[in-house]
Amino acid sequence: MNVLASYIQYIVEIFTDPLLLFNMMWATLLGILVGVLPGLTATLGVAILTTLTFGFPAKTAIAMLVGVYIGAIYGGSRTAIVLNIPGTPANAATTVDGFPLARSGNAGFALNVATIMSGIGSIIGAVFIVTLAPLLGKLALQFGSWEFAVLAIFGTIIAGSLTAPKDPLKGWISGFLGLMISLIGLDEITSYPRYTFGNIQLYGGIALLPVLVGVYGIPEILTSLKRVTKPEVALDFSKTAGGLSYWKTIVKNWINIIRSGVVGVFIGVIPGVGEDVASWVSYDLAKRSSKEPERFGSGSIEGLSAAETANNACVAGAIIPVLTLAVPGSAPAAVLLAALWIHGVRAGPLLPIEHPEMIGNVAAMFTVATLLMVVFGLIITRLFLKILLVPTEILMPIIFVLCIVGTYVLNGRMFDVWIMLLFGLLGYFMRLNDFPAAPFVLGFILGPMADTNIRRALMLSKGSLMPFVTRPISLVLLIAMVLVMISKYIPKKRGAKSE
């Protein structure tokens, strides 16, 4: 089926199916709520909801997860603007100009601009899902075991480099630790037990969702409980910038908006990078090309527009490689990939063959969730800010219980709960010592791909490593991997010598 035809057909299906539309509505609203609450992340929101969607049909479950993903990335802008606290890491750049606008009496205007720009960014992303994903899918058909093996390692390397800019080595250590832990259990080729230490519970390996909930959820809970002070919530929206027009804002910033949307999508395609990087890169580009760069940091509409357009467009970019390569572009996209597997949808090069309608369907889910996000954002999300008045010591234990329940529901095993708590402590240790979680999670997800494809490639080549450098795509990925590592290491050595 043509991607555009399946896209249009599924949009009609969503709006003519009241139950499906209702499920998308409450999931998107839940995502916004997750984003509004500082300390919770889109990854945690998607992970918890994934554990609760087992009884839903595959398309409904995926639509709900897309809704909570989009809603969470957008929802973080609420607290970023009002409190100067990004609800999710993706909204960190929003605080730079959003909070000064709020303090100058333009809180309502800033919130609505963020809503409109988030919607435009998501629509740009949906266009790229329809147009770019099929092209990337055709390229993916050219991939063999050699290419997939190198791609898995390359994704881990680049995620480590970009999420730990101060010390890339910590990012790489985090990524390869995830790769190693993913090898626990029976290997996929000979079913030989590895690193199980005779524990039969480990023969099936470690499930992804307990790891995700642990690494992202527990550190957030512990960190939030450590905060002694709680900022006041600015709920006064009576002051608005009445002389400013939303339409004129869009027209004046149309180049900035389109550039930020495109940049967000393509940064999202890069494995493991995520919405926060897209937001900062677009913000920097907007400042460099602005006629009024001095206003950035003191309430620039251009800066706010760039940040919020990019982080929402990045969501689509992160989903594109999930559908075509089975390689997540961000941590929430990694959970979405796991959800696809759980619901019997095998993402990757064979997706257009096995589920030819899925790419168009996901783009349709994306579009509808965006429309719901904008409607909710303009009408009711101000009420969500009152939830910030709930004391952290009450809210976080509730989130902790949801983490335990969601993990237990996965397989009905207490073993998964213990695994979640163990990885929660590991994630907290990593956070205290500046080891990023994103490359760890990406390495854990890509580990089986790397392991199976390296071994299969060596079998096909009778132990020869030459195909890794003689096959064009594999060689390009290897060269890119080396260049990424060199670019992060050599400048530091030079800087050390100059000192």
Residue located via tokens 């896209």: 7
In this predicted structure, what is the pLDDT of residue 239?
45
Cα 258-264-268 angle, rounded to 5 deg: 150
pLDDT of residue 499: 39
pLDDT of residue 2: 79
Structure-block tokens of residue 409? 């529901």
Instruction: Using a pLDDT cut of 70, give the percent of the chain over it.
Output: 85
Among 103, 113, 121, 26, which residue's Cα sits nearest to residue 77? 113
Q: Which of 167, 169, 222, 176 is nearest to 432 (CA)?
A: 222
Counting residues of the chain whose pLDDT is more than 90, the rounded percentage is 7
| Strands (DSSP E) found in 82-126 | none
pLDDT at 108: 76
Token code pair at residue 18: 């009241």
User: What distance in Å separates the CA atoms of residue 481 and residue 485, rounded to the nearest whole number?
Assistant: 6
Q: If 0-12 CB within 10 Å is exposed, 13-18 middle and 19+ buried, where does residue 48 land?
A: buried
pLDDT in tens, 371-427: 999 998 888 756 655 655 667 777 778 778 877 876 776 677 888 889 889 998 998
Q: Is residue 128's pLDDT more than 60? A: yes
Which secondary-structure segment (H or E) carries 489?
Answer: helix 472-498
Q: Residue 122: count other Cβ atoms within 10 Å of its Cβ.
A: 29
How far, in Å, CA of 63 to CA of 345, rounded? 13
38-92 pLDDT, tens per residue?
A: 656 788 788 878 877 777 888 888 999 999 999 988 888 887 787 666 667 777 7
Nearest residue to 34 (alpha-carbon basis) of 419, 406, 416, 445: 406
pLDDT digits (tens, 9 = 90+) for 238-278: 444 445 567 777 878 888 889 888 888 887 877 656 677 77
pLDDT value at residue 222: 83
Question: Are 75 and 83 in contact, with CB atoms under 8 Å apart?
Answer: no
Q: Which residues contact 380 (CB under 8 A, 6 or more apart)?
A: none
CA distances from residue 19 to 23, 26, 56, 376 in whole angstroms, order as listed: 6, 11, 11, 18
pTM above 0.75, yes or no: no
Residues 143 and 471: their CA atoms lie apart, in Å, by 10
Instruction: Quote the pLDDT of residue 409.
Output: 67
130 near 360, Cβ under 8 Å? yes
Buried-state track 63-101, b at ≥16 Cβ within 10 A, e below 16: bbbbbbbbbbbbbbbbbbbbbbbbbbbbbbbbbbbbbbb
Render pLDDT for 183-195 as a digit per residue (tens, 0 to 9).
Answer: 888 887 777 888 8
Picking from 389, 277, 394, the residue whose alpha carbon sits closest to that of residue 329 is 277
- Can you spell out the DSSP letters for 15-62? HH-HHHHHHHHHHHHHHHHHHHSTT--HHHHHHHHHTT-TTS-HHHHH
User: Rounded to the nearest 10 degrees, what angle do helices 301-325 and 94-101 cross at?
Assistant: 140
Backbone phi and psi for residue 472, each to the nearest 5 degrees, phi listed first: -55, -50
Q: Distance between CA 443 and CA 446 in Å, rounded?
A: 5
Cα separation of 177 and 359, whole Å? 32
Distance CA 217, CA 403 (A): 7
Average pLDDT of the chain to the nearest whole number: 79
What is the three-class DSSP state of 142? coil
Q: What angle do CA 297, 299, 304 make, to 5 degrees?
A: 85
294-340 confidence digits (pLDDT tens): 777 777 888 888 889 988 998 888 888 888 877 777 778 888 888 88
At 368 the pLDDT is 92
pLDDT category of residue 488 using cuts at 50, 70 and 90: low
Q: Looking at residues 214-222, what average pLDDT do you find? A: 78
Rounded to an integer, what is the distance from CA 210 to the centroid of its chain?
17
Strands 193-194 and 185-186: antiparallel
* CA–CA gap between residue 64 and residue 26 (Å, rounded): 8
Q: Are 409 and 52 in contact (CB under 8 A)?
A: yes
Amino acid at 386: K
Does residue 22 have a pLDDT over 90? yes
- Segment 154-158 mean pLDDT: 75
CA distance 390 to 393: 9
Range 428-438 average pLDDT:
83
Asked if the model's pLDDT at residue 102 lies above 70, the reply is yes
